[in-house]
C-alpha cells in the first residue's frame, strides 16, 4: 500500500488539505502513467501497434518505467522547489534555477556538467540515470551550455520537448495563471526557440494553473486562448487549440485516424500538435482517465508525450482514485513522484517557513 500523505514538513501550522495534495500527486502520477503507457509504442505507427496489441491497440502498462518526458518534469519541479526555498522574487532567478536543473538532467543522460551543479535530491535517484529516448533538441541545446530564452534563440525548434515538461509550473503558480503561462513559456524557451514551441508550453502551464483552482476544462481552455493572444506569433498554437475545441464540440471521436489528422508527418512531434491532441482526448474523456490516456497514446505519433499531457490533465481533474489501481501499483518510482508533488503543493500553498528537512532535501 502507498501512503499518499507524507510527514508534515512545515510544522504544526501546516496546511493539511489532503485532497489538494492528492490532486497534485494525481497530476504527476497520471502523467507518468500516460508517459509509461505510450513509451513502448512511441516509434510505432498504428498498424504496427494493432499488429502487436490487437485492434484496440495497447491497453495495459506494458513497461512500468516512465520516459524522458517525466524525468524532465521532475527536474522542472526541482527547479521550482529550489526557487521557493531561496526566492528573491525575480523571475530570472527561477528560469536560471530551472536551467540548472535541466543541466542536472543532462548529467543523468551521461553528459558532463560543472561539479558545482552535481548536487540535490534527484541526482541521488539512480533510476533517473536511465536513458529513455531523450529528445535530441533538449540534449543539443543543454549540451551547448547556453541558456536559451524568448529573446535569445538557440535553434528554430518547436518540438514537444518544451511543453511535455512544464506542468509543475502551473501547479506552483496556481494562484496566477497569467504568470504560470509566462514562466512556462520561458522554461520551454531554454531549449526550444520557435514561438510555437514555447507558447504551447505557456498555454499548458496556464491551463494547469486554471484547473488547480477548480475551473472546468473547457472554460480553462478558452481562458488560455485569451492569454495566448497577448503574445506575438501565437497563431499556430491558437489555431490548433481552437480546432481541438471545435472537433470536440462537433462530436468527433478520438480515433487513431482522427488524431493523425491533427498532425503533420509524425503527429504530436511539435508542441502545438501534442498539446491540441492531448486536449482533444481530455475533452472527449474528461471523466474517464483510463479511456482518455488510452486514446492519447494509440496513434501513429509521439505517444508518450501525448500520454503525459493527457494523463496530467485528467489526473488533476479526476484525482488519485480515478487512476487504475493496477497501473499505480506497477509504476516505477511512484514514491518519488508522490514526494515532489506533495512538496510542490506545500511550498506553493503555505506561508510558513519550510522545515530544515525540506531545505536539506533540495539545497544540500
Question: Contact 344/24 with Cβ under 8 angstroms?
Answer: yes
Comparing CA positions, the residue from 190, 69, 201 lying closest to residue 134 is: 69
pLDDT at 307 over 50: yes
Annotated binding-site residues read: 67-69, 302, 304-305
Calculate mean pLDDT across residues 149-173: 98
Helix (H, G, I), strand (E, B) or coil at 236: helix
CB atoms within 10 A of CB 15: 15
Which residue shows C-alpha cell 494553473?
209
Q: Is 198 helix (H, G, I), strand (E, B) or coil?
A: helix
pLDDT-derived band at 126 (thresholds 50, 70, 90) equals: very high
Annotated binding site for Mg(2+): 67-69, 302, 304-305
User: Any idea where the domains of the chain sit in the sequence?
Assistant: 18-148+160-363
**Cα separation of 229 and 80, whole Å?**
26
The grid cell for 294 is: 488510452
pLDDT score of 89: 62
Query: Model pTM?
Result: 0.93
- The CA dihedral of 74, 337, 63, 41, to the nearest 10 degrees, is -40
Q: How confident is the model at residue 300 (pLDDT cuts 50, 70, 90)?
A: very high
Q: What is the pLDDT of residue 47?
A: 97
pLDDT of residue 351: 66
Output the pLDDT for position 16: 32
Q: Is the pLDDT of residue 134 over 80?
A: yes
Half-sphere exposure of 352 (CA within 13 A, CB side): 16
Find the mean pLDDT for residues 213-222: 94
Q: What percent of the chain has pLDDT over 90?
A: 85
pLDDT by residue (tens digit) across 41-100?
999 999 999 999 999 999 999 999 999 999 999 999 999 999 999 876 667 699 999 999
Mean pLDDT of 24-31: 98
pLDDT of residue 356: 86
Radius of gyration of the chain from its Cα atoms, rounded to whole angstroms: 19
What dotted CATH number matches 18-148+160-363? 1.10.4080.10
Amino acid at each position: 500500500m502507498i501512503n499518499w500523505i507524507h510527514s508534515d514538513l512545515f510544522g504544526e501550522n501546516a496546511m493539511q488539505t489532503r485532497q489538494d495534495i492528492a490532486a497534485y500527486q494525481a497530476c504527476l502520477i497520471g502523467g507518468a502513467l500516460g508517459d509509461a503507457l505510450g513509451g513502448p509504442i512511441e516509434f510505432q505507427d498504428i498498424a504496427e501497434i494493432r499488429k502487436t496489441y490487437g485492434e484496440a491497440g495497447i491497453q495495459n502498462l506494458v513497461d512500468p518505467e516512465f520516459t524522458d518526458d517525466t524525468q524532465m518534469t521532475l527536474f522542472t519541479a526541482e527547479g521550482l522547489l529550489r526557487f521557493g526555498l531561496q526566492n528573491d522574487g525575480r523571475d530570472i532567478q527561477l528560469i536560471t534555477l530551472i536551467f540548472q536543473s535541466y543541466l542536472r538532467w543532462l548529467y543523468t543522460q551521461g553528459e558532463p556538467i560543472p561539479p558545482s551543479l552535481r548536487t540535490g535530491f534527484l541526482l541521488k535517484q539512480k533510476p533517473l540515470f536511465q536513458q529513455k529516448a531523450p529528445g535530441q533538441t533538449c540534449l543539443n541545446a543543454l549540451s551547448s551550455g547556453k541558456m536559451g530564452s524568448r529573446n535569445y534563440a538557440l535553434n528554430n525548434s518547436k518540438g514537444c520537448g518544451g511543453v511535455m515538461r512544464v506542468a509543475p509550473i502551473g501547479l506552483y503558480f496556481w494562484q496566477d495563471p497569467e504568470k504560470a503561462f509566462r514562466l512556462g513559456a520561458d522554461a520551454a524557451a531554454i531549449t526550444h526557440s520557435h514561438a510555437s514551441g514555447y507558447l504551447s508550453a505557456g498555454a499548458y502551464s496556464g491551463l494547469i494553473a486554471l484547473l488547480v483552482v477548480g475551473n472546468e476544462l473547457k472554460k480553462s481552455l478558452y481562458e488560455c486562448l485569451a492569454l495566448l493572444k497577448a503574445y506575438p506569433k501565437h497563431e499556430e498554437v491558437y489555431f490548433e487549440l481552437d480546432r481541438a475545441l471545435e472537433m470536440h464540440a462537433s462530436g468527433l471521436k478520438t480515433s487513431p485516424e482522427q488524431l493523425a489528422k491533427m498532425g503533420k508527418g509524425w503527429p504530436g512531434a511539435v508542441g502545438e500538435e501534442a498539446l491540441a491532441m492531448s486536449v482533444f482526448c481530455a475533452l472527449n474523456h474528461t471523466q474517464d482517465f483510463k479511456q482518455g490516456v488510452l486514446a492519447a497514446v494509440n496513434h501513429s505519433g509521439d505517444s508518450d508525450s501525448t500520454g503525459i499531457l493527457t494523463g496530467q490533465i485528467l489526473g488533476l481533474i479526476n484525482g488519485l482514485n480515478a487512476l487504475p489501481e493496477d497501473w499505480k501499483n506497477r509504476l516505477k518510482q511512484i514514491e518519488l513522484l508522490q514526494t515532489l508533488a506533495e512538496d510542490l503543493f506545500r511550498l506553493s500553498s503555505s506561508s510558513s517557513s519550510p522545515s530544515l528537512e525540506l531545505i536539506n532535501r533540495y539545497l544540500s
